[in-house]
Amino acid sequence: MPLREGDPESIGEYAIESRIGTGGMGVVYLGRSASGRAVAVKVVHTQYADDRDFRARFRQEVAAARRVSGAFTAPVVDADPEAELPWMATAYVDGDTLAQRVTASGPLRWPQLRRLGVELAEALREIHRAEVVHRDLKPSNVLLLDTGSAGGGADGAVRVIDFGISRAAHSDVRTQTGLVMGSPPFMAPEQFSSPRDVGPPVDVFSLGALLVYAATGRSPFEAENAYLAAYQTVHNDPELGRIPGLLRPLVLSCLAKSPQDRPTPDAVREALAALPEELPGTEPDSAPSAVDLPTATLTTSAEDSAGNGSATLPPGTTSGPTSDPTSGTITPDTPVAQQAPATPRRLGRARSIKVAVSVVAVLAAAAVGVGVTSTSGGDEAAHEDARPGAPDGWRPWHTDLTAADGKGKAKGELPASMMPDMPNCTPSALGVYCSSEKRALFRLDPLTGRTDWTKPMHRTARVGGFTVTDPKVVGDRVLALSDDGSEGIDAFDATSGRKVWRFKGPQAEFSFLSGVIVVHVGKLGPSNTAAYAALDPRTGRELWRRTLTTDSPAPLYAGRDGTLVADLRQTRTGERTVARLDTRTGRTLGRVTAPKGDLWLATVHDGSAYYARWENDSGASSRIFIQDLTSGAVRSVDFPWAVEPEAPPLVRGDVMYVFDYANEMVLALDLKRGKALWTTSRELRVFSEPSVRGTTLYATTPDSSIVAINTRTGRERWRTKPAVAADGGKSGTVDERSPSPVAPLSVGGVLYAVTDSGPFSAAARRS
């Protein structure tokens, strides 16, 4: 990539020639020494340079990388962690990442796949011998040398890079309390449940996931976003797809839920080396017969190198893909599942607030039954006077919806430090509406936070929490999934709770867009074509139905002047169409051709589509592309650094507000002039999606306060008193809480918000 204005001409003794990539924590440049040696120079972003904890982690990264040697890692050649902008230089590896190779050429054939596994296992052996745990082994951190490079070849030789979140076994430098670091869906279960205490087996788990990805183009825990990927990693069996049959037992042992049940890197290497270099038969994916398969003896991580207690894996007997839904395989001509496009990317960064809320609710509801306790949220909050404009009878309240009905932590419950154990709630002017695994819908009184009425979920409908979704408030109606397990939609009067209509299921999801209820008809399944219907929100009458073919799991967006925008792009066919549809008829009104590249359609606003470009599968985005949906004209604006948006940006006029999840700050971008207006202070710790009303931006903070920010300057105007006591409640301490995908809602003189400690209300002040 070319250099940009402001990039350095040199770093240390190295002349900078170009950019290699950008991540959430820094920029990587191609540099050259005075002797002509090429190096990759990683430079920390400016905003981290004054962060004492980050500098400590960077020093740890340098030390860890220097400790590791071997043929399959990129050695450190120079570093200065004490520089104004800390940097580290490693030997430059000329090649593609595994993610780039699979995206460009598809899954690896057997010889390349076997070699990848052998070399990765050897790399992990060297890393672990140096008493270092990588902790972030993923496709973008595995380089394959280009043809002709030393040690390379058509299938590439492996180099493991980026020890950015690694930890030496004896190091006292730990990640921030409650902070999960890594890249779902390639992380091990214990990285979510106990992120500060992980050991070498997490890298073996990631190795197993990488082998599945290299063989199929998908992680074994692929999901629409990071929350669901984490849930599936902890609770579900892996999806192995069309992985060669003889490799399945080894991969399953690497993906064992318990660290003690996984093999050591040495055992993995020996098992792979014992497998044939070529598969019998003409089909590249076919497995050999049972008599051709060697028996692999694996030493688990809990055993010593002498093989004490080693377990013998039975030879695989699978002769090819089957249609058994429990087998983890799919038939050869089955299209890619709609909910997980084949293009590798961090899907957790690529969907709407609606999806994020739904998945968080699934995690919370699947873990525990939801009980309700209304509390004052602390003495100070309880005694805060109602501000002018607040309705009569209102006082600040906080309602705890995380109780487990007095039975303690439910079996398999995800710990609070892993991710939000928050209620599935939607605040509105008419009340706060919530759904849970036990209650299809219930209303919290906006004055008191107490439960006003409830619609219980029929016991036959409780299937692992997946009947839960976030309620939709549309005028005087509130919509939720049917309470009988039919996966239909029920509409209720928002005040009385009286049912007014039902749309029969099954349906995968629904949303309110441009005045209609848009329903994905049918269950999510292995197809990139799906039917969508539009319903009248008052009557439930179906207005139209269309079948759309697209890679997007949720392709419809609210457009301007009674229109919907349909993202019809397909990677496989090269289709780049984005269409405008009439909301009441579904008829196509016009089409444009989307910009080229691996772009996420982040949001649609006022007749324009906004596409974000990912940086090398990192989950970070450095540029936004803006397209007029009538003329098709495209322009672009660079972010001042590579941001990590957890949900779609908020556009108001010519300003875009982006919640940078990695840095816990809001960035305001002037889209007209292409410049950053301001960012919130890092000390502020913005902890939710923002909302804007007039010249004030609202966001929650980790202590369950709501902060008001001047949209012209980015400076704090005021904040509410914490809704939850500082020592925590059931969701843990302040630092163990998780960012909320629900933006605060301003209604008159009252603000409503939702965190993993429950929904709450607070008094708004005069700005």
Phi, psi of 294 (to 5 degrees): -75, 155
CA dist 308 → 124, 579, 628, 682 (Å): 21, 63, 66, 51
Listed in sequence order, the residues at least 6 apart from 258 whose beta carbon sits closer than 8 Å to its beta carbon are none
Q: Domain 93-334 adopts which CATH fold?
A: Transferase(Phosphotransferase); domain 1 (1.10.510)
Q: Cα 84 to chain center, whole Å?
A: 32
Kindly report the number of other CB atoms within 10 A of residue 150's CB atom: 7
Cis peptide before 185 (omega within 30 of 0): yes
Query: Can you list the positions of beta strands (E) in 45-157?
Result: 76-80, 87-91, 95-97, 132-133, 142-145
DSSP 710-742: ETTT--EEEEPPPSS-TT-GGG-SGGG---BSS
Q: Which residue has the higher pLDDT, 580 or 377?
A: 580
State the pLDDT at residue 414: 39
C-beta separation of 444 from 399 below 8 A: yes
pLDDT at 535 over 70: yes
Q: Collapse the DSSP code of 685 into the 3-class scheme (helix H, G, I; strand E, B; otherwise coil) and give the result.
A: coil
Q: How does residue 446 score in pLDDT terms, banded at 50, 70 and 90?
A: very high
Segment 53-75, tens digit of pLDDT: 777 777 877 877 777 766 677 77
Mean pLDDT of 78-99: 87
Distance, CA of 719 to CA of 507 (rounded, Å): 41
The more confidently predicted of residues 365 and 94 is 94
Q: Where are the domains of the chain?
A: 93-334
| Helix locations, 441-559, DSSP H | none
What distance in Å separates the CA atoms of residue 39 and residue 21, rounded to the nearest whole number? 13
154: how many CB neighbours lie within 10 A of its CB? 9
SS3 of residue 65 by DSSP: helix
Residue 197's Cβ-count burial label (10 Å; 0-12, 13-18, 19+) is: exposed
Work out the pLDDT band at 7, boundaries 50, 70, 90.
Answer: confident
Residue carrying structure tokens 């902060």: 707
- Return the higher-pLDDT residue of 729 and 641: 641
What is the number of other CB atoms lying within 10 angstroms of the CB of residue 408?
A: 9
Segment holding 559, helix H or strand E? none
Say if residues 400 and 729 touch (Cβ distance below 8 Å). yes
Q: CB neighbours (10 Å) of residue 636?
A: 13
Among 216-230, 295-309, 693-707, 717-731, the range scoring the smallest mean pLDDT is: 295-309
Are 491 and 506 within 8 A, CB to CB? no
Residues 669, 205: Cα–Cα separation, whole Å: 40
Q: Are 187 and 230 in contact (CB under 8 A)?
A: yes
Query: Which of 106-120, 284-298, 337-351 is predicted with the least confidence, judged by mean pLDDT?
Result: 337-351
User: What is the band of 744 on the pLDDT scale with cuts at 50, 70, 90?
Assistant: very high
Tokens of 723: 């809704």
Lookup: tokens for 48? 């981290």
**Mean pLDDT computed over 461-490:** 76
Of residues 493 and 146, the one with the higher pLDDT is 493
Give the phi and the psi of residue 699 in degrees, each rounded to 5: -155, 155
- Predicted local confidence at residue 288, as pLDDT: 34
Residue 403 corresponds to which tokens in the numbers above? 């109780």
Instruction: Provide, rounded to the nearest whole percent, the portion of the chain with pLDDT above 90.
Output: 35
- The 10s digit of each residue's pLDDT in 9-37 is 899 989 999 888 776 577 888 999 988 88
Six-digit token string for 376:
């004052």
Please compute the mean of the pLDDT values over residues 378-406 and round it to a whole number.
Answer: 59
What is the enclosing helix (H) or strand (E) of 608? strand 608-614
Each residue of 621-634: pLDDT tens digit? 888 999 999 999 99
Task: Inform me whether the pLDDT recorded for 556 exceeds 80.
Answer: yes
What is the per-residue pLDDT for 423? 54
pLDDT at res. 382: 30
**Cα–Cα distance between 278 and 272 in angstroms, integer?**
12
313 has pLDDT over 60: no
Task: Using the structure block, give the residue that is written with the tokens 């269409």.
Answer: 579
Q: Which pLDDT score, from 0 to 100, does residue 389 have? A: 62
Rounded-to-integer distance, Cα 750 and Cα 446, Å: 9
When computed from its CA atoms, the radius of gyration of the chain, rounded to whole angstroms, is 26
What does residue 132 show for φ and ψ, rounded to 5 degrees?
Answer: -125, 140
At a CB cut-off of 8 Å and minimum separation 6, what does 491 contact?
A: 477, 478, 479, 499, 500, 501, 502, 537, 540
Q: Determine the Cα–Cα distance for residues 567 and 533; give it in Å rounded to an integer.
A: 16
Q: Which of 245-249, 503-507, 533-537 is predicted least confidently?
A: 503-507
Please report, for the chain, how many H helices and E strands are present, in that order.
Answer: 10, 46
Structure token digits, residue 333: 């001509």
pLDDT of residue 364: 30
What tens digit of pLDDT does each residue of 129-187 get? 888 888 889 998 898 886 444 444 434 578 888 765 555 433 333 333 334 445 678 89
DSSP E strands, 615-756: 621-628, 634-643, 650-652, 655-660, 665-670, 675-679, 691-693, 696-700, 706-710, 716-719, 745-747, 750-755
Strand blocks (E) in 339-448: 371-375, 397-403, 424-428, 431-435, 439-444
Return the DSSP state at 446: T
Position 647 pLDDT exceeds 60? yes
Whole-model pTM over 0.85: no
Structure tokens at 462: 């409780």
* Residue 210 confidence class, pLDDT cut points 50, 70, 90: very high
Please report the pLDDT score of residue 185 as a whole number: 80
Which SS3 state, helix, strand or coil, does residue 644 take? coil
Which is nearest to 360 in space by CA: 693, 603, 647?
647
Q: 3-state class of 273 per DSSP?
A: helix
